[in-house]
Every structure is written in C-alpha cells, then in structure tokens.
C-alpha cells in the first residue's frame, strides 16, 4: 500500500535527533509491549508480515504522530483482536469474558530463550530456478498494490543491477494476507543516486534494496 510508512525520500521531517545514553526502554509499558510483540509473534499466532501490515494500516495521522511503541501497541491490539485472542470489550474491561479463541500455545519462561535464538527464518525451498543472476540489469516494476508490499515507492520504475541472489524466502506480499508462504527468489538490487533522485543527486550514492522476484522485470 502507498502509505506514510513508506518514507524513503520524503522531505520536511527535520534533523535526526539521537538521544545520548538512550535507555533500551523509556517506560515500563514499552518494555511490556515489546515482549508481547515478540512473544505472540514467536508463538505463531500471526506472521511478522501481517503485523507489519496492521501497523502500516493505522490512520496516517496516527502513524506519523504517535510514538513508535504506541504504534506497536496498536498493531498488537489489532492482531490479537483479528485472530480472536481478545475482543474489544475484553480490552475495555481488562478481563477475559469468553473462551472461544484459538488454542493457547504460550511461550514458556524456560524455553523462551531458545525460541528467541532460533527465531523464525524466512528461507524456503526453491520451487523453480531463479530468473535473474548477479550482474543482470533489472527494473523495479511500477506497481502500486493496495495490499502489503516490501517494494519501496522510491525505487519503482527505476533500473538497477542485481548484486546478490539470496535464495528463496517467504513472500511478504502473500504472507501478510494469509496466502501462505508463496516462496520467491530474493535479490539484492543496487540503484545509483542519480537513477533514483535525478541529475542533482549525490553521484557517490548507491542504494540497495532486497527485491523479491515479482518486484522485478527486464529493463525495457
């Protein structure tokens, strides 16, 4: 979706403001919501792609105006509600009111560390040979799906070069919408600054993205 989450190249946000000696969390609730995000994600109730789509689908003003962890909280609330773990009236009441959700499979304290160290790899078996090879010229397709995608707007329609073939991975555009893993070849594609940003761009700049095969075409 062409949302405000897709920020590459936007102007007007001002300087980057690092915080000296920044703590890992700024409030106890941030710590808790991060743990909920990771714990429920690793328990497999939903995919990271579904969660990302829920977060980027927040009202644009909220996504831009709220703090990072406020948007994480909203994303987790949406996921937990959409997957039937909780309902809006239960969240309002702060207590369980029904037991009709999916079977619980909570992360347990003694195995949580191992589960985190394993993570949830996205690499999949290749269903077909790769279409592109290192050194190939490619073009990012000029597509504007209203659904989730990991193809940033600022590369669409632009030509680049494949610098790596990274195997097959679960395809976020499918997985975010419950359409299974639909494994796709994943390439690193490098674009020059002037190709992306025009003749006034920094000529020493290159930008690389990881692009799934359906994002790419032969340059016309």
Partner 1 sequence: MTGPSDPELRVKALEQVLTEKGYVDPAALDVIAETYERNVGPHNGARVVARAWCDPGYRKWLLEDGTAAIAALGYSGRGGETIRAVENTAQVHNVIVCTLCSCYPWPVLGLPPAWYKSAPYRSRVVIDPRGVLSESGVELPGDTEIRVWDSTSEIRLLVVPMRPGGTEGWSEEELARLVTRDSMIGTGLPKRPEEPAP
Min dist CB 6 to partner 1, Å, is 6
Min dist CB 129 to partner 1, Å, is 20
Min dist CB 208 to partner 1, Å, is 5
Containing H/E element for 163? strand 159-169
Q: Which is nearer to partner 1, 36 or 220 (CB)?
A: 36
Alpha-carbon torsion (71, 73, 74, 80), positive or negative: positive
Q: Which of residues 183-202 bind partner 1 (CB under 8 A)?
A: 186, 190, 196-197, 201-202
Choice from 2, 59, 82, 123 touching partner 1 (CB under 8 A): 123
Residues facing 107 on adjacent strands: none
Min dist CB 113 to partner 1, Å, is 6
Q: Which is nearer to partner 1, 16 or 146 (CB)?
A: 16
- Per-residue burial over 20-55, b if 16 or more Cβ lie within 10 Å, else e, is eeeeeeeeeebeebbebbebbbeeebbbebbbbbbb
Q: Which of residues 1-40 bind partner 1 (CB under 8 A)?
A: 5-11, 13-19, 22, 24-29, 31-36, 38-40
Is the Cβ–Cβ distance between 137 and 69 less than 8 Å?
A: no
């Amino acid at each position: 979706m062409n949302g405000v989450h897709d920020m590459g190249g936007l102007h007007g946000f001002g300087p980057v403001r690092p915080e000296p000696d920044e703590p890992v969390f700024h409030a106890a609730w941030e710590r808790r919501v991060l743990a909920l995000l990771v714990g429920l994600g690793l328990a497999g109730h939903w995919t990271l792609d579904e969660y990302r789509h829920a977060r980027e689908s927040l009202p644009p003003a909220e996504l831009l105006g709220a703090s990072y962890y406020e948007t994480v909280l909203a994303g987790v609330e949406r996921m937990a509600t959409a997957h039937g773990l909780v309902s809006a009236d239960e969240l309002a009441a702060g207590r369980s009111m029904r037991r009709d959700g999916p079977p619980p499979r909570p992360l347990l304290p003694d195995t949580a560390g191992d589960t985190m160290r394993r993570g949830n790899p996205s690499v999949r078996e290749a269903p077909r040979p790769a279409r592109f090879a290192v050194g190939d010229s490619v073009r990012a397709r000029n597509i504007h799906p209203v659904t989730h995608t990991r193809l940033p707007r600022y590369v669409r329609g632009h030509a680049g070069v494949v610098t790596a073939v990274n195997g097959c991975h679960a395809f976020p555009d499918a997985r975010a919408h419950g359409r299974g893993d639909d494994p796709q070849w994943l390439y690193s594609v490098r674009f020059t600054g002037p190709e992306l940003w025009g003749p006034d761009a920094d000529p020493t700049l290159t930008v690389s993205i990881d692009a799934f095969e359906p994002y790419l075409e032969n340059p016309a």
